[in-house]
Amino acid sequence: MSKVVSRGSTRLRENERQRIIDDSTRRRRLRKFLENLEADNFHEDPHADLVMSKKVPKFDDNLESRTRSKKRERNSEYYQIKYRKSFQQMIEDDRKEADDNNRMSYMDLSAPQSDFPPYYTCAVCGYHSNYICISCGVRVCQTRCFDTHFETRCLKWTT
């Protein structure tokens, strides 16, 4: 008994299986990805309300500093961690402050159109990119980066 071998290019068969999306879907996918990234980047510290026992030694403490009863000084890092703001909150605060001081806010600033062509970077490694993924439109610089993109990122979170 002999097997029936189908002839043809494996490249063509892979291209048939590959999903290609239009520009509006690409923009929607990018917007959704950025919204998820923004939501993931900013969150309240889950350990902010925990009260540590004073008897538990800290890693940077030594015996001499523990024996002295000295009032703890709060430095700028303490206040930065305690009163952390999201990017949106900072923009709103800047706009209010700009209105009060008669100056331009972050959102009012703009630069003139550049005379140079846009500089595109690789989504995987960050170098200059010359190629575009056919499926999702992401820019890549070489075959190795394209393989990484295709295996791990290409249309992975598209709904």
The answer to whether residues 117 and 104 touch, using CB atoms and an 8 Å cutoff, is no
Structure tokens, 152: 């791990």
Among 60-69, 104-113, 125-134, name the one with the lowest average pLDDT.
Answer: 60-69
Is the pLDDT at 59 greater than 90? The verdict is no
pLDDT in tens, 78-106: 776 777 777 888 888 888 888 888 888 88
pTM greater than 0.85 (yes/no): no
- pLDDT of the residue at 140: 92
d(CA 159, CA 157): 6
pLDDT of 55 > 70? The answer is no
Instruction: Measure the N-to-C terminal CA separation of the chain; round to a whole number of Å.
Output: 45
How many helices (H) and strands (E) the chain has is answered by 6, 2
Domain map (residue ranges) of the chain: 119-159
**Each residue's pLDDT tens digit, 109-127:** 888 999 999 899 998 999 9
Q: Is the pLDDT of residue 64 over 70?
A: no
Q: What is the pLDDT of residue 149?
A: 87
Please choose, from the candidates 99, 75, 78, 91, the residue with its C-alpha nearest in 3D space to the C-alpha of residue 42. 91
